[in-house]
Amino acid sequence: MVKTSFPATRMRRCRSSAWMRNMVAEHRLHPSDLIWPLFIAEGQGEEQPIATLPGVSRFSVDRLAEQARQARDLGIPCIALFPNTPPNLRSERAEEALNPDNLICRAIKTIKDSVPDVGVLTDVALDPYTADGHDGITDAQGRVLNDETKTILVEQALVQAGAGADIVAPSDMMDGRVAAIRDGLEREGHCDVAIMAYAAKYASAFYGPFRDAVGSRGLLKGDKRGYQMDPANGSEALREVALDIAEGADMVMVKPGLPYLDIVARVAAEYRVPTFAYQVSGEYAMIEAAAAAGAGERDALVLETLLSFKRAGARGVLTYHAPLAARLING
Ligand code: PBG
């Protein structure tokens, strides 16, 4: 017979009651682990449902204070804002990104004026503003130009910081942009504005509903593989993260979330910076579809997937399920 420590060791003892399970739990989900992405639309009194993201709507700026109050009351520390720019304001050089009165800036001001103790994170990338839906400006062959784009991204980050953004989050994957944005922020006196770098962002099939939400899906020419990471690569993500930290990122992000949990775990184990995961739109849609089909129970799927990010070492998660998850946690 095989020598074993049984029955001295019975793993089930520590699972035998709810209080025992609670007591030995290694990880716990808290509302402060959640960052809530919100989509913004032009207009008044607008709440526009997004078909591919059931349960998520775009809100007009006048409806944002109530959303921010909801976040505060639920204990969600931070909101991430994404604008749906009207088509006539999208252009080849994305000038609207630099308009200090654009949708995102009005949204930032509204939230900071009404609920100042909720953090505001803004995306630094040109895809809501370019005519072709790319994150940067393109040359005649449709290639995204790194250095020209980087210069515009610095200005975009400064416009957002000027409007009151607490965290700017470059999601564009241009090389060298974190250092350039940090320099710009310091130069303009925004030394407390933090940078959360979308450090390891993959060219993923999971972004479809997001592109519907910001209105760029139909516009996108080609794909983003020339700047976002190849899903085949893992070690490259560590290099991306190291570069962004060296350039001055305060926090880093891995995106998408669940299919890249190995990357989250490797980054969190390797570096001493807060690491976030973005459970993206396609992941949200999959959970909703599974729940709608009766294949799983929504609340349990949401809490289990979010907890898995904590177990992998993430400090927090960007998720469209943030309000639901916070309500479930708060009980
Ligand atoms: C754009 C951006 C994207 C997301 C966040 N910022 C889409 C993309 O890169 O095409 C995706 C988020 C999601 O799918 O929920 N820079």
Ligand 1 binding pocket mutation candidate from 38, 58, 135 (most atoms within 8 A of CB): 135
Asked if the model's pLDDT at residue 91 lies above 90, the reply is: yes
Q: What's the count of helices (H) and strands (E) in the chain, helices before strands?
A: 11, 10
Single out the residue of 308, 306, 295 nearest to residue 329, CA to CA. 306
Radius of gyration, CA atoms only, the chain: 21
Which pLDDT score is estimated for 328?
A: 98
Which pLDDT score is estimated for 217?
A: 87
Residue nearest to atom 11 of ligand 1 (CA): 207
CATH classification of the domain holding 62: 3.20.20.70
Asked if the model's pLDDT at residue 64 lies above 90, the reply is: yes
Residue nearest to atom 8 of ligand 1 (CA): 207
Q: 81 C-alpha vs ligand 1 centroid, how far in Å? A: 12
Please report which residue ranges of the chain form alpha helices under DSSP H: 18-24, 64-74, 103-114, 146-163, 177-187, 208-214, 235-246, 261-270, 281-292, 298-312, 322-330
The number of folded domains in the chain is 1
Q: Please report the atom of ligand 1 found closest to the CA of residue 216.
A: 10
* Residue numbers annotated as active site: 201, 255
Which pLDDT score is estimated for 179?
A: 98
**Position 97 in a domain:** yes
**Position 10 in a domain:** no
Q: 207 C-alpha vs ligand 1 centroid, how far in Å? A: 6
Asked if the model's pLDDT at residue 297 lies above 80, the reply is: yes
**Position 156 in a domain:** yes
Residue nearest to atom 2 of ligand 1 (CA): 171
User: How far apart (Å, rounded) are the C-alpha atoms in residues 126 and 85?
Assistant: 11
**Position 2 in a domain:** no
Q: 321 C-alpha vs ligand 1 centroid, how far in Å? A: 16
Residue nearest to atom 14 of ligand 1 (CA): 207
Q: What is the overall mean pLDDT for the chain?
A: 97
Asked if the model's pLDDT at residue 94 lies above 90, the reply is: yes
Which pLDDT score is estimated for 2?
A: 75
Which pLDDT score is estimated for 4?
A: 85
Q: Is the overall model pTM greater than 0.85, yes or no? A: yes
**Position 11 in a domain:** no
**Position 237 in a domain:** yes
Q: 283 C-alpha vs ligand 1 centroid, how far in Å? A: 12
**Position 170 in a domain:** yes
Instruction: Quote the Cα angle for 276-281-282, to 5°.
Output: 115
Residue 251, SS3? strand
DSSP type of residue 145? P
- What residue ranges line ligand 1, CB within 6 angstroms? 123, 125, 127, 135, 171-172, 207, 210-211, 224, 280-281
Q: 5 C-alpha vs ligand 1 centroid, how far in Å? A: 50
**Position 271 in a domain:** yes
Which pLDDT score is estimated for 101?
A: 98
Residue 183's domain comprises 28-330
User: How far apart (Å, rounded) are the C-alpha atoms in residues 160 and 120?
Assistant: 10
pLDDT digits (tens, 9 = 90+) for 18-39: 999 999 999 999 999 999 999 9
